[in-house]
Amino acid sequence: MLFILEDTINGILMGSIYGLAALGLTLIFGVLKVINFAHGSLLMVGMYVAYWAVILTGMHPYLVLVIVVPIMFVFGYLLQDILIKPIFKAEKDVREPITVIIVTTGVWYILDNLSLLVFGPQYRNIQGNPLQGKMLEFGDMMISVPKLWGFCAAIITAALVYLFLQKTRMGRAVRATSLDREAASLQGINQYKIYNVTFGIGTAVAGVAGTALVPFFNIFPSVGVLFDIKCFIIVVLGGLGSIGGALLGGMIVGVIESVGPQFMTATWTEAIVYGLFLVFLFLKPSGLFGVKYDW
């Protein structure tokens, strides 16, 4: 019984990091109404930025956030501004521009393979970082310290994003655009600037998730693919566009992945997650917390 509790706790911790990774995706979807297929690749970029920041400066793996977050924000802002905005303008009257999905798929292929060209296929991790392999012991239970840090990072980031959306002027503009882009434009909100900012924030959040993963996860060019589909599943479970839903959805997936292997071959849990995802798509496509819109 104890190891189930232990697995559950570790599953929740890992799941919250999944949720953190999915947070950016759900934010971008909530506002742009676009599934960003390049999200896993943005996470991968975040991991490499964090990795090199730690290696080059020798700072604590979480202190590098001061470098990672601005870089990722600018990266996401420019990506949206240069590549995705023109398509939005071309398909102005389409509620859910499928072309944008295709462009983000192109971005995914380019980013993953560029990093393969630049950094090579080898797995990297930060040797001797202060969080590596650390465990907290509660009696017979072992709780991973880097995952605990990731859990805290996820909660804090989600709270910050929530506060930004609720309390700031820009946050209100973002929410207005997500509800009705025409009405928001009529109120003098520049919707394309809001899209840029949202994409920047979503990318920065992916950077935070990448930083949280770096102390205990291998970094390699296609690492994003491991998280890509998982993130889609999580945001649909939680409800597209919902911040709390992303965290909860992440934890559900995390717990299934970590408790499941007690009862079956580990690889089967993946099939269970896909099954759960499809059940949700059919029965409750708005997810646990999603608002029922026509998307």
**Which residues here bind other proteins, judged by CB under 8 A?**
34-35, 83, 86-87, 90, 96, 98-99, 101-103, 105-110, 112-114, 116-117, 121, 221, 229, 232-233, 236, 265, 267-268, 270-271, 274-275, 277-278, 281-282, 285, 294-295
- For other proteins, the closer of residues 3 and 295 by Cβ is 295
Minimal distance, residue 271 CB to other proteins, in Å: 4
Minimal distance, residue 166 CB to other proteins, in Å: 26
CA angle (237 as vertex; 152, 85 as ends), nearest 5: 85
- For other proteins, the closer of residues 143 and 270 by Cβ is 270
- For other proteins, the closer of residues 195 and 232 by Cβ is 232
Spatial contact of 50 and 150, defined as CB atoms under 8 Å apart: no
| Residues whose CB falls within 8 Å of the CB of residue 20, separated by 6 or more in sequence, listed in order | 150, 153, 154, 157, 158, 205, 208, 209, 212, 247, 250
DSSP 261: G
Minimal distance, residue 37 CB to other proteins, in Å: 9
Minimal distance, residue 193 CB to other proteins, in Å: 20
- For other proteins, the closer of residues 148 and 231 by Cβ is 231
Minimal distance, residue 145 CB to other proteins, in Å: 31
At 182, the amino acid letter reads: E
- For other proteins, the closer of residues 5 and 179 by Cβ is 179
- For other proteins, the closer of residues 121 and 139 by Cβ is 121
| Helical ranges in the chain per DSSP H | 2-32, 39-57, 65-79, 85-90, 98-119, 145-167, 169-179, 181-186, 191-213, 223-238, 243-259, 268-283
Q: Give 170-216 as a DSSP string.
A: HHHHHHHHHH-HHHHHHTT--HHHHHHHHHHHHHHHHHHHHHHHTTT
Sign, Cα dihedral of 141, 146, 152, 157: negative
